[in-house]
Structure 1
Amino acid sequence: MTVRTDTPPVTGPVWARVLSEVFAPWVIVIALSGAVAWRATQEALPTVLWGLLIALTSSVLPMGVIVWGARRGRWDGHHVRDRRGRLVPFVTLIVLSALCLGLLLAWEAPRMLVALDVAMLAALLVSGVITAWWKVSMHAAVAAGAVVILAAAYTAWVLPLLLVVASVCWSRVRLGDHTVAQVTVGTVLGIVVGGGVFVLAL
């Protein structure tokens, strides 16, 4: 089955495309999982094991499903630009993140790692509800949420990385994937829901 969509093909400056790929949600989640796992354990092996668990369930496996579906024409690419095609990826992410949370609790993971998964799950649920009727930028939400989470886990000195978030937002608008309103809402969602829930869950 091939998805028909009116979404225009991806065009734009090379730097916009580079930013969009380098700071894609799945890439950020992998890096964030390792960073928070290290802060929570301060040991190499636990960092690798816990980080791998969260990265697999919240990034690698869901991205595998998305790429598989895109190659079979179920949606319009690995960024799923057409809002109507985002239901299955969202459900996959939510189910796998919930599974990860159950494993983290069962295996008595450090509280900070549980807080990370809860924060990501909360952001997914809120953005999933919004996506039912409007397209919100997950690039912006994940990037902004990651900065706040790192600031809470490490130091407020990482907050200037919000300038990177702004550049990612620019890339999404420049490529025609989102409007200014969509990246703005995504950024607020990431900061308030993703970052806020993480802080509250610590």
Structure 2
Amino acid sequence: MTADVDTAATAPGAGHRLAKIITEVLSPAVIVVLLPFAVAWNATGHALLATVVWALVVAVFYSVLPMVFMVRGARAGKWDGHWVRERERRFVPLLMCLVSALVGLAILLLGHSPQDVIALAFSMITVLLACMLITRWWKVSIHATVAGGSVATVTLIYGWVMLVLVPLVALVAWSRVVVRDHTVGQVVVGALLGPVVGGVVFVLLR
């Protein structure tokens, strides 16, 4: 494999089809909708309404709105697909993700969201900034970054039992390599970047 893979896979087979499904089902867009509910549920003391309110703020501004922007950009031909496979075209979508996330963070701060939810928001913004910096020269896997960081976050909150989710990170990494959107090195770095950068920020701010 080359150091920077920017083309979609065309290889047939059941493994490739499964990898494409995993790429969508365990995508950053899906995980970043689910993760804030897990964090807010614990942070609010299992208060259902508060959990839903704060989790939805994170989900909308950190996942839904950025995804809408990327899908619309793909349909307009600005980049090659909603995951923006071409590294050189990733900066603008990532920048829009950052703007949306900062708006969401402002809402959390003004609304006096629980500290763990704010810590999650800051950790995701920090990881996004790291990805933006790296992507200027290299195509790190954001799928693997988000998956790894999310497992680290729920482990910090709910304990070591959450490490049972680690195989899902490996599955995401495998899928990104099989569909040829990333190399092994790119998914390994991503899987470590999320826990190391995001995890440290989360621990420091919670």
Identify the TM-score tier after normalising by the shorter chain.
over 0.9
Runs of 4+ in 1 over 6 A off after TM superposition: none
- Aligned match of 1:155: 159
1:7 aligns with 2:10: no
Paired AA for residue 114 in structure 1: I
SS of the residue aligned with 2:133? helix
Return the offset for 1:99: 1.4
Distance 2:81 2:166 in 1: 27
- Aligned match of 2:65: 61
Return the offset for 1:8: 3.7
Q: Please list every run of 5 or more consecutive structure 2 residues that lacks an aligned counterpart in the other structure.
A: 1-5
Return the offset for 1:184: 0.7
Distance 1:191 1:10 in 2: 32
Q: Percent identity?
A: 47
Q: Please list every run of 5 or more consecutive structure 1 residues that lacks an aligned counterpart in the other structure.
A: 1-5
Distance 1:11 1:28 in 2: 27
What is the count of residue pairs matched by the alignment? 198
- Cα RMSD (Å): 1.4
> What does residue range 22-171 of structure 1 map to in structure 2 within 5 Å?
22-41=25-44, 42-171=46-175
SS of the residue aligned with 1:16? helix
TM-score by length of 2: 0.92
TM-score by length of 1: 0.94
Paired AA for residue 25 in structure 1: P
Distance 2:142 2:11 in 1: 19
Paired AA for residue 36 in structure 1: V
Cα 1:30–1:8 shift into 2, 3 Å: closer
Distance 2:106 2:10 in 1: 38
